[in-house]
Amino acid sequence: MPTHSSYDGTELAYRVEGSGDPLVVWPGGPARDAAYLGDLGGLARAAHRSLIIPDPRGTGASPCPADPTAYAAPRLVDDLEALREHLGLEQMDLVGHSAGGSVSLLYAARHRERLSRLVLVAPGSAVVALDMTDEEWEARVALRTGEVWFPTAKVALDADSTPATRQAMSPFLYGAWTDAARLHAAADGEQRNPDGTKAFWAERPDAEQTRRDVSKMTAPVRVVVGELDLMPGPELGAELAGLFPDGRCVVQRGAGHFPWVDDPELFARLVVEALED
């Protein structure tokens, strides 16, 4: 597995899927092994691109830092910039998923000139001062009331977050609670670094300043959201896309927080279109 040296000399691992022009994909979690991304629904084949998928610090083949502040989102931005330099790219196309979308937004705020295109998949948006009201959250939850798993999953969703409650609420994260979804959800506990998850928000940038900074980005930005995802959902996704001069929100029908699990072919096609339009 290839590695690159980051800003502090740490050797961080990444994997390469496919061939063609590089497309960097920053995973979420936060601090979840990038193995959860799989091949993103065959995106490398569909896009004729080389997916560059890092293992962030403390996940996969990348070592845990001695200083836990290295897990914080702004420090991950430094790791992402070191990866770009290692790849020898003046500019890069970047895809960020979930908490990786937050890292990607922070990267755009600091290094927008290094991005040729940004695709945010089910991204976190608090870093740009966008969030849901309690009423909006409850409306998103209520979309799934007809599901057989809803009563048990709702109790877990409302409980304190633990590995057990996260597993129990997992059906909310998928468009349909299929065998593929169950298998994907079951791997969450073993793929997650709890220390990294906890420290991700240890250093919080100024969200209003980040919002102002990303609004100066002229490169195309596409926000891909699942129709049934709890967060961000289509409405918040459209609001996020609206921060950018060339921003657009794309909704994958019937999908949740991991849209490539729900419909791999459709997801790959939507991301290819997002990279080309």
Q: Is residue 188 part of a domain?
A: no
Q: What is the pLDDT of residues 221-238, one digit of tens each?
A: 999 999 999 999 999 999
Residue 130: give its domain's CATH number. 3.40.50.1820
Q: Is residue 37 part of a domain?
A: yes
Specify the number of domains making up the chain.
Answer: 1
What's the average model confidence in pLDDT over 42-54? 98
Residue 260 CA to residue 244 CA, distance in Å, equals 25
Q: Is residue 270 part of a domain?
A: yes
Q: Is residue 18 part of a domain?
A: yes
pLDDT tier at 277 (50, 70, 90 boundaries)?
confident
Which percentage of the chain shows pLDDT scores above 90? 98
Q: Quick one: how far is CA 94 from the chain centroid?
A: 11
Q: Is residue 96 part of a domain?
A: yes
Q: Is residue 251 part of a domain?
A: yes
Q: Is residue 179 part of a domain?
A: no
**Range list of β-strands (E), 195-240:** 221-226
Per-residue confidence (pLDDT) for residue 226, from 0 to 100:
98
Q: Is residue 45 part of a domain?
A: yes
pTM (2 decimals)?
Answer: 0.97
- Look up the domain containing 226 and give its range: 3-136+193-276
- Contact of 252 with 266, CB cutoff 8 Å: yes
Q: What is the pLDDT of residues 66-80, one digit of tens each?
A: 999 999 999 999 999
What's the average model confidence in pLDDT over 184-211? 95
